[in-house]
Structure 1
Amino acid sequence: MVDWNLAVATAIRFVRPGPEVSRDEAREVVAELRRHAKASEEHVRSFTRMVPEGHEPEDTPVLVVDRAGWVRANVAGFRELLKPLLEKMSERRSASPGGAVLGAVGGKVTGVELGMLLSFLASRVLGQYETFAPATRELPAGENGGGRLLLVAPNIVHVERELAVDPHDFRLWVSLHEETHRTQFTAVPWLRDHLRSEIQAFLAATDMDPMTVLERLRDAVQSFTGARPEAEEDEPGRSLVELVQTPEQREILGRLTAVMSLLEGHADFVMDGVGPQVVPSVAEIREKFQQRRARGASRLDMALRKLLGLDAKLRQYRDGERFVSAVVEQVGMDGFNRVWTSPNTLPTKAEIAKPADWVARVHRKAD
């Protein structure tokens, strides 16, 4: 169904070159990012009052990678996460006339498409906590379900130069955000399995009929090209990803969106909360970085962000941080940390927009 090797080769071939740095400077950047990742552990634990259970940092290694390394890591993650869905689709296709030939050709096409998407993203991601990371020879991962934390060195250097901010402060600031994600998953043992369950349910609800999927894709493309003007009323503001979903998948996506808003907003809240004590220029960095997020690199970049649903991710940062900030203001950090008690105490999508409703539901019930 997917030629994974072709996806990697395509992405690496078309990814933009990174910023020019000398060999000595590259070594210095890598060493500093590793130091900051280590220092961030204590900063984040102290601020959030979250203590890992069962997984110490050694179980979730920190890898400083280049853009090609990020591509390889994400292809390995996709391959692992999508395995049940792709096996089911492969069985269905092999049972149809000419299925083997169609599968071989389709796998090449899908591999190229995935590679092009990853080449676009590989120059934009600063860091990433890989929750479902399988270990490979080049990319180790934690044992017993521990993931791995990736810091993409060329992208961090590119952005710090673009923003003209203090590079040492910026590298620590980014490390604080990603370390928060590692702390979330190591301190909340059930979170990883809960996310996996939701994602697998989302994939299981995929409509397996190729003609139905093709029809949805055609409608989606037409809505973005203007060939179907009424789509603006029927599907306001939806990305290509959302438009090809079943109703059941949209319900699951609503829950996933709420969780991701919580995780991303919490990471932003923590890195800004810790920042004033350890990152002297945090105010300048935050202001410039927010401006960069808002404007995008170009009209093409903004169009692609919309099409791929990346603009929704930007809203998750903003909405999630507002939720965390409002809850902490009302009930303090310990009161906020009740959010990690169980899946039932996670906020709904509606509660992300109305933090007081979450406080009323979780705290009044508990009290």
Structure 2
Amino acid sequence: MDLYRSVRAVADASGNGVVDWDAVGASAKAATEPGDLTLTPDEEAGYADDVRDARDRLRLVGDVKFELPDAIEVQNRHHWINANIATFRRVMEPIEAETQSLFPDVARTVNTGTMAFTLSYLSRNVLGQYDPLLLADSDDHGLYFVRPNILRVADELRVPYPRFRRWIAFHEVAHAAEFGAAPWLPDYLEDRMHEAVSGISSGSIDRASFKELNVAMTAVEGYAELLMDRAFDEDYTDLRRKLDARRQGGGPVARIMRRLLGLGMKRRQYERGARFFAAVADERGVAAASAVWERPENLPTDAELDRPQLWINRVHP
């Protein structure tokens, strides 16, 4: 870790955009230890077995057809930063296009520093990630496991590493299942994102589109929780309890970052979506809940998330 080099990269930010993405990558990596990526043959086989088993179980339990992503990688933190520079850049493009500043050089430096700090923080905390490559002219997908973080958190939680690794694999493959079952979903999310920020330069956002985006992401997070609950091949109540305590703990910087990055909102999405899909599955079965991905019209409305019977009556009359 070289904090001087990290700060220097931000200070030297240049170009015509509101963010210098090359400087973001250089700064984030300079501020972050990459972590060890020395996999034993048994460990490498373990990741492959976990992902394959998750695919087979989720297909069976969810009655959904999907393929594994094209890219499945075990990464260190620098690899994760490299992979997500492109993702963050795509997500920010509509915002950058709508944003103007009276002092572009100063704004570029501030924005570059903010994004570098964000990526550095996330790279030290992300365990696994399914990347559907939103906002990209590509059908590729990525499934990433950040080995140094999985090892560290398993140790902090006093959970056997192979068991924790397998739980992460099931969770991320569950996201692959829903995006694989709903090829329309990336375009749907992209359109709502563009619409939500289309007026940001005038100081407004499209609240209706933002609400639709939030509802869709609640469905994404909640359905993955449902599949995890029904498909994981052992009880993980203790894991959930320990992870929830970890998310709510941490020092003041961690709590501030969770708030700034909307991680508290993501947790609420998990909980609200999980309650919705659990109620649907208990009433009609997991396959009935999977109908949510058949077409965009089958997504629950905001009201239906809190009253699942309304959704059941509409989609499964």
* Separation in 2, partners of 1:182, 1:13: 31
**CA distance in structure 2 between the aligned counterparts of 1:156 and 1:127, rounded to whole angstroms:** 8
Give the Cα separation in 1 of the matches to 2:30 and 2:108: 18
SS of structure 2 residue aligned to 1:258 = helix
Q: Could you tell me which of 289, 300, 324 is aligned with 2:277?
A: 324
Residue 23 of structure 2: aligned partner: 6
Residues 81 and 22 (structure 1), Cα distance of their counterparts in 2 relative to 1, 3 Å cut: closer
Residue of structure 2 aligned with 1:33, choices 47, 51, 57: 47
| Counterpart code for 1:285 | L
| Cα distance, 1:16 vs structure 2 | 5.6
The equivalent of 1:168 in structure 2 is 162
Correspondence 1:257 to 2:251: no
Q: Name the SS for the 1:132 alignment partner.
A: coil
What TM-score, normalized by structure 2, do the two folds share? Answer: 0.85
1:13 Cα deviation after fit: 2.1
**Cα distance, 1:24 vs. partner?**
5.4
Work out the CA distance in 2 between the residues paired with 1:117 and 1:84. Answer: 19
Amino acid at match of 1:303: I
Candidates 141, 162, 172, aligned match of 1:147: 141
Query: How do residues 280-295 of structure 1 correspond to structure 2 at under 5 angstroms?
Result: 282-293=236-247, 295=248
Q: Using a 3 Å threshold, how does the CA distance of structure 1 residues 144 and 306 change in structure 2: closer, same or farther?
A: closer
Cα shift at 1:308 = 2.9
For 2:188 and 2:37, the matched residues in 1 are separated by: 44
TM superposition shift of 1:354: 2.1
- 1:308 is aligned to 261
2:28–2:81 contact (8 Å) kept in structure 1: yes
Asked if residue 78 in structure 1 is aligned to residue 92 in structure 2, the reply is no
Which residue of structure 1 aligns with residue 188 of structure 2?
194
The question of whether the paired residues in 1 share the 8 Å contact of 2:37 and 2:148 is answered with no
Residue 110 of structure 2 corresponds to 109
Amino acid at match of 2:19: V
The answer as to whether partners of 2:34 and 2:78 remain within 8 angstroms in 1 is no
Q: TM-score, normalised by structure 1?
A: 0.74
Q: Which amino acid aligns with 1:7?
A: V
C-alpha distance 133-170 of structure 1, shift in aligned 2 (>3 A): same
Which protein has the larger Cα radius of gyration, Structure 1 or Structure 2? 1
Structure 1 residue aligned with 2:301: 348
Task: For 2:264 and 2:246, locate their aligned partners in 1 and report how far apart those are by CA, in whole Å.
Answer: 13
Aligned residues: 300
Structure 2: where are the runs of 5+ without partners?
1-17
- Structure 1: which amino acid aligns with 2:243? F
1-side partners of 2:209 and 2:314: how far apart?
A: 21
Superimposed CA distance per residue, residues 179-202 of structure 1 (whole angstroms, 9 cap, x where no aligned partner)? 011111112111111111111212
Query: Residues of 2 paired with 1:283 and 1:83: CA distance?
Result: 40
User: Which of 271, 292, 296 is matched with 1:339 structurally?
Assistant: 292
The whole-number CA distance in structure 2 between the counterparts of 1:265 and 1:177 is 11
Tell me the secondary structure at the aligned position of residue 159 of structure 2. coil
- Give yes or no for the alignment of 1:361 onto 2:310: no
* 1:187 alignment partner AA: A
Q: Does the alignment pair 1:267 with 2:277?
A: no
AA paired with 2:144? L
Deviations 1:132-154 (A, max 9, x none): 2699xxxxxxx951321111111
Q: How far apart are 1:273 and its partner, in Å?
A: 1.4
Cα 1:37/1:189, change in 2 over 3 Å: same
Contact 1:67 1:152 in 2 (8 A): yes
SS at match of 1:82: helix
Is 1:15 the equivalent of 2:39? no
Establish whether residue 48 from structure 1 lines up as the match of residue 65 from structure 2: no
Alignment CA distance shift 1:15-1:283 (3 Å): same
Provide the secondary structure at the position in 1 that maps to 2:285.
helix
